[in-house]
């Protein structure tokens, strides 16, 4: 039998009624002839509640116990969905991560998947089980302890199962009906994409789009797992959702496929840094060691042996970045004249594989922003992406202007 992986997020299993709706969708796929692996998240809000319990009990918690507690929400959902399917006469069984076993490393709270043996589940399929309901987000360490994959890890779990079991497809059910050219809440004429490449989806996800978790897209691209993003709240059809696939499966697309944005960005500038070999390593090494997620980096032209170094990071990491930089100066790693932080910026990115073969994307982007008097603070580019930092108050205006400039409300 062909295997299909279906993943249901927290809003899709938020209560018993929604679990019943999910069960009907799974039953329909079984009726089409699939053996189905369902990966479930905890009910909406449940993981936050469990994390709150941990923090209230032990702010400096043992990460192994943290994982044991916060992983329990997925176990409840998996059991309830399996029961509902059994009530519908669909042979189903719930599976916790250790029962598969989904084997990870020992990095509690942010574990990486090492391998997923298929023997246990495949044996049960051969014995007549039609649905394996797997608790997402969790696995087991080499020491035999429960681990979790980090927030959003159920998407990664689903893609990993699709790769391990050579599934025909991995369907991600969520509260949106696909991937859009930009956030419809910002731009009313945003258009749902029928298909998007792995590379474009990865760039959109990493630049702020919240539809899919970045690690899951990386995994799908590596193992060529076809993903379909669907809404749990709409009736399925042949045109439902967005397929995330290889570039070869897309005949023609717009030069730019989407506009991503991130509100919570900060721009930090070190002025008067010595311009010499090793200075970048001296600055960014301690930032990495402190867990600061540095994104855009720009170095200015040297002036009499000194330069300015500008970078962006999430706004909630500014204090951590300031401490790392000042500690490095106190150790004598390097010196600088002034550290300037601007916590009121947003990052806007235009993404599209068409940039590889079409000139003028940057010019169109900059003209569109200039026409709305939006000043650009920092620019970075890659093969299929251009990102800029702007004042946060202009973010929505900039997204709308760029969406219009690239005609994203129209198909190619």
Whole-angstrom distance, CA of residue 98 vs CA of residue 134 = 10
Decide if domain 259-405 falls under CATH 3.30.2130.10: yes
Q: Say which range, 21-30, 82-91, 179-188, has the weakest mean pLDDT.
A: 179-188
pLDDT, residue 259, reads 95
DSSP string, 204-268: HHHTT--SS-HHHHHHHHHHT--EEEEETTS---TT-SEEEE-GGG-S---S--EEEEEEEEEEE
Over residues 122-171, the pLDDT tens digits come to 999 999 999 999 999 999 999 999 999 987 899 999 999 999 999 999 99
Q: Which of 135, 29, 128, 35 has the alpha carbon at shortest distance from 80?
A: 135
* 183 labelled ligand-binding: no
Is the dihedral angle over the CA atoms 162, 167, 168, 173 positive or is it negative? negative
pLDDT band at residue 112 under the 50/70/90 scheme: very high
Question: Would the annotation count 337 as a binding residue?
Answer: no
Q: Is 180 annotated as a binding residue?
A: yes
From the CB of residue 401, how many other CB atoms can be counted at a distance below 10 Å? 22
- To the question of whether residue 64 is assigned a binding role by annotation, the answer is no
70 annotated as ligand-binding: no
Q: Is the dihedral of CA 165, 171, 175, 176 positive or negative?
A: positive
10 is in an annotated binding site: yes
pLDDT value for 206: 79
Mean pLDDT of the chain: 93
Q: What is the pLDDT of residues 189-244, one digit of tens each?
A: 999 999 999 999 998 887 767 778 888 999 999 999 999 999 988 877 767 899 99
CA distances from 129 to 38, 84, 90, 133, 136 (A): 13, 15, 8, 11, 19
pLDDT score recorded for residue 34: 97
Query: Averaged over 51-77, what is the pLDDT?
Result: 95
249 is in an annotated binding site: no
User: From CA 219, how far away is CA 113, in angstroms rounded?
Assistant: 10
Instruction: Evaluate whether 3-175 and 259-405 have a shared fold.
Output: no
As a whole number of Å, the end-to-end CA separation of the chain is 37
Encoded tokens for 412: 């190619």
Q: Which residue has better confidence, 376 or 203?
A: 376
Say which CATH topology domain 3-175 has: Carbamate kinase (3.40.1160)
- Residue 3: predicted pLDDT: 97
Question: Which tens digit of pLDDT belongs to each residue from 351-366?
Answer: 999 888 888 999 999 9
Average pLDDT over residues 363-385: 94
pLDDT the model gives residue 407: 92
The pLDDT-based confidence of 30 (bands split at 50, 70, 90) is very high
Known binding residue 47? Answer is yes
233 labeled binding residue:
no
Q: Which two tokens stand for residue 323?
A: 């401490």
Instruction: Find out whether 238 is annotated in a ligand binding site.
Output: no
Question: So what's the pLDDT on residue 355?
Answer: 87
Domain segments of the chain: what residues? 3-175, 259-405
Look at residues 23, 133, 20, 143 and name the one whose alpha carbon lies nearest to residue 78: 133
Q: What's the pTM value of the predicted model, to 2 decimals?
A: 0.84
């Amino acid at each position: 039998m062909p295997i299909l992986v279906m993943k249901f997020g927290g809003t899709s299993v938020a209560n018993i009624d929604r679990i019943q709706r999910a069960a009907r969708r799974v039953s329909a796929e079984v009726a089409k002839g699939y053996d189905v692996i369902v990966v479930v998240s905890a009910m909406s809000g449940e993981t936050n509640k469990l994390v709150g319990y941990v923090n209230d009990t032990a702010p400096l918690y043992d990460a192994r116990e943290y994982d044991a507690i916060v992983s329990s929400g997925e176990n409840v959902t998996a059991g309830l969905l399996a029961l509902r399917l059994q009530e519908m006469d669909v042979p189903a069984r719930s599976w916790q991560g250790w029962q598969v076993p989904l084997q990870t490393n020992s990095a509690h709270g942010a574990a990486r998947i090492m391998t997923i043996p298929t023997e246990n589940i495949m044996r049960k399929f051969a014995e007549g089980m039609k649905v394996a309901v797997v608790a997402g987000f969790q696995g087991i360490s080499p020491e035999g302890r429960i681990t979790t994959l980090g927030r959003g890890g159920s998407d990664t779990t689903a893609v990993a199962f699709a790769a391990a079991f050579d599934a025909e497809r991995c369907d991600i059910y969520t509260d949106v009906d696909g991937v859009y050219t930009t956030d419809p809440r910002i731009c009313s004429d945003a258009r749902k994409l029928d298909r998007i490449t792995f590379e474009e989806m990865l760039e959109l996800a990493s630049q702020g789009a919240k539809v899919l978790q970045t690690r899951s897209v990386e995994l799908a691209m590596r193992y060529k797992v076809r993903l379909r993003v669907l809404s749990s709240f709409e009736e399925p059809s042949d045109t439902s959702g967005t397929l995330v696939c290889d570039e070869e499966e897309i005949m023609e697309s717009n030069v730019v496929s989407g506009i991503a944005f991130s509100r919570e960005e900060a721009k930090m500038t070190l002025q008067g840094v010595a311009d010499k070999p090793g200075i970048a390593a001296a600055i960014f090494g301690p930032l990495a060691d402190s867990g600061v997620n540095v994104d855009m980096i720009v170095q200015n032209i040297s002036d009499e042996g000194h330069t300015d170094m500008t970078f962006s990071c999430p706004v909630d990491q500014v204090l951590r970045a300031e401490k790392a930089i000042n500690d490095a100066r106190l150790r004598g790693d390097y010196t600088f004249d002034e550290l300037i932080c601007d916590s009121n910026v947003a990052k806007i990115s235009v993404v599209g594989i068409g940039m590889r073969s079409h000139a003028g994307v940057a010019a169109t982007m900059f003209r569109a922003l200039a026409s709305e008097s939006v000043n650009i603070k920092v620019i970075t580019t890659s093969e299929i992406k251009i990102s800029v930092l702007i004042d946060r108050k202009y973010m929505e205006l900039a997204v709308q202007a760029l969406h219009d400039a690239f005609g994203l409300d129209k198909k190619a």
